[in-house]
């Protein structure tokens, strides 16, 4: 039996190793694409869940009432002097004691 030679117009057959390498690179590309898609889907889902939770939290009438009460109580309480005011007061005390 003689080996048939392919006509010159046909490209030579790819070797099995070349086809396996090509398939491997395709699978790597698909793996990366799937990972990126999952990451993006998780980010989008978490973002929407947080937005919904905040909207539900701020939309709750009971929570709004409590926030208003807490704000009014804090505003009505005696305000603490600022750090700078307390510092200046202490410096004045030290200067007065030194004299």
| Mean pLDDT, the chain, whole residue set | 84
Predicted TM-score (pTM) of the model is 0.46
Tokens of 76: 């009505």
Helix (H) / strand (E) element for 19: namely: helix 16-59
Domain ranges, ordered by start, for the chain: 15-59, 62-99
Helix axes 61-76, 16-59, angle to 10 degrees: 60
Residue in this structure with the two tokens 């539900």, named with its chain if needed: 56
pLDDT digits (tens, 9 = 90+) for 76-91: 666 777 888 888 889 8
User: What is the percent of the chain where pLDDT is above 70?
Assistant: 81
* Strands annotated E in 5-85: none
Longest dimension (CA), the chain: 122
pLDDT at 54 over 70: yes
């Amino acid at each position: 039996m003689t080996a048939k030679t392919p006509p010159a117009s046909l490209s030579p057959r790819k070797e099995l190793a070349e086809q396996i390498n090509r398939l491997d690179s395709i699978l790597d590309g698909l793996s990366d694409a799937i990972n990126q898609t999952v990451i993006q889907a998780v980010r989008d889902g978490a973002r929407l869940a947080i937005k919904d939770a905040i909207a539900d939290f701020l939309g709750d009438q009971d929570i709004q009432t409590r926030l208003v009460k807490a704000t009014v109580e804090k505003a009505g309480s005696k305000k603490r002097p600022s750090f700078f005011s307390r510092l200046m007061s202490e410096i004045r005390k030290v200067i007065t004691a030194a004299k």
